[in-house]
Amino acid sequence: MKINKDQRGLLFHSGDYVKMLKPGKHFIMPFYNVEVYNIAEQFMPAKDLALLLQDKELVSELDVVDVNDNQIVIHYEDGKFKNVLRAGGKYAFWKGLKEHKFITADLTTPYIDESIDRGILQRPEFAGIAWLCNVETHEKCLFFLDNNLEKILEPGSYIFWTGTKAISILKADIRQQQLEIPGQELMTKDKVTLRLNFVCHYKIVDPVKVFTQIKNYEQQVYILMQLTLREYIGTLTLDEILQKKEEIGSYVLSALKGKALELGLELNFTGVKDVILPGEIKDILNQVLIAEKKAQANVIMRREETASTRSLLNTAKIMEENEILYRLKELEYIEKISEKIGQITLNGGTQLIEQLKQIFMGVSKTLPESGTK
């Protein structure tokens, strides 16, 4: 039989391996058989590979890779990624036709050697072996190895081996966050029960402390604000609270800033969102407000009436001292009345007409005199 240049043959006699057949023509005796393999492909014999590898001549034709437990081997063929060789076995590849390269990775540590191309680790062949962790720009991550804090991961992309050690990640959002205390019932100094909607803005500045030393940090901040509000509101009357809403937030901020840092947080703002009064108190305040507005309206009306009366008095004094001005004022009012009259009907004979003539003649005589002065 003929073995081509891209082939190798394994000669067997009654099922037992005899030797390797190189390219060329070979005479095969009875009771012998040959298995032919393409050297462009991985060598995967039907017989046990370990048994065949006892033949030194065959071994010289092969690249043999033994992958131990807790290891993987990344196989490159002619400089290109080919496949992943899993732990617990031997693998053989024919030499000559293709160039093979192998990179061994130790899975007992999660850290990946710099010689391994990160790009190939996202391929499906690495599913369950390589774990990708993306840390966003607004995050910091706590990296735990076997439940022990290993380090803090800054924003970026990270890949780890998922081997013999347990890996866990805690992500901390370092953006400004908001916490609200809705409908907090509080009693004032004058024994009025009211409800406050309170809000605070904070940031995580020490994620290690927040996640390893503090349990439920948001709940602890909530309780601290609740107690501080209760203490401060109890020192103020209802009127003081309504007048000093902005000061309440400033007080709570200054009182809790140091305590927040002990929790790994930074308080940036606290303030009263709403003051909710009981129904009866609200009605009383509305009545007081209405009374105040009515009193203000009355004051304004009296002031305007006084000003108007004073203006009339001043006008009367001027007209009393100046007869021409008085006559002009009469004409002004006659003009205004005339604008609203469409037709005049006179009853009373010539006597009424003569009286009107005398009035107008008297006015006309007065005007030239005023013009000459």
- Per residue in 253-288, pLDDT tens? 999 999 999 999 999 999 988 887 765 665 655 566
- Considering the domain architecture, whether residues 266 and 182 belong to the same structural domain is answered as yes
- Considering the domain architecture, whether residues 267 and 345 belong to the same structural domain is answered as no
- Considering the domain architecture, whether residues 182 and 269 belong to the same structural domain is answered as yes
The pLDDT value given to residue 278: 67
Residue in the block written with tokens 């009866």: 280
* Distance from C-alpha of 103 to C-alpha of 274, rounded to nearest angstrom: 65
- The CATH number linked to 256 is 3.30.479.30
Q: Pick the range with the lowest mean pLDDT from 16-25, 43-52, 324-333.
A: 324-333
Of residues 315 and 33, which shows the higher confidence score?
Answer: 33
Model confidence, pTM: 0.64
The pLDDT value given to residue 134: 93
Quote the percentage of the chain above a pLDDT of 70: 84
Mean pLDDT for all residues in the chain: 85
| E strands in 107-192 | 130-135, 139-145, 148-153, 156-161, 167-173, 177-187
Put residue 11 in one of left, alpha, beta given phi > 0 → left and psi -120 to 50 → alpha.
beta
**CB environment 312-325: b (16+ within 10 A), e (fewer):** eeeeeeebeeeeee
- Considering the domain architecture, whether residues 267 and 358 belong to the same structural domain is answered as no
Answer with the one of 246, 277, 308 that is the final residue of a domain: 277
3-state secondary structure of 185: strand
Answer with the one of 277, 302, 337 that is the final residue of a domain: 277
* Distance from C-alpha of 26 to C-alpha of 20, rounded to nearest angstrom: 11
Tokens of 283: 């009605």
CA angle 169, 144, 262 (to 5 degrees): 85
Domains in the chain, number? 2
Q: Is residue 226 part of a domain?
A: yes
Given pLDDT bands bounded at 50, 70 and 90, which one contains residue 361? Answer: low
* Mean pLDDT of all residues in 161-181: 91
Residue 357, domain extent: 322-368
Given pLDDT bands bounded at 50, 70 and 90, which one contains residue 222? Answer: very high
pLDDT 10s digits, 49-97: 889 999 999 999 999 999 998 999 999 999 999 999 998 889 999 998 8
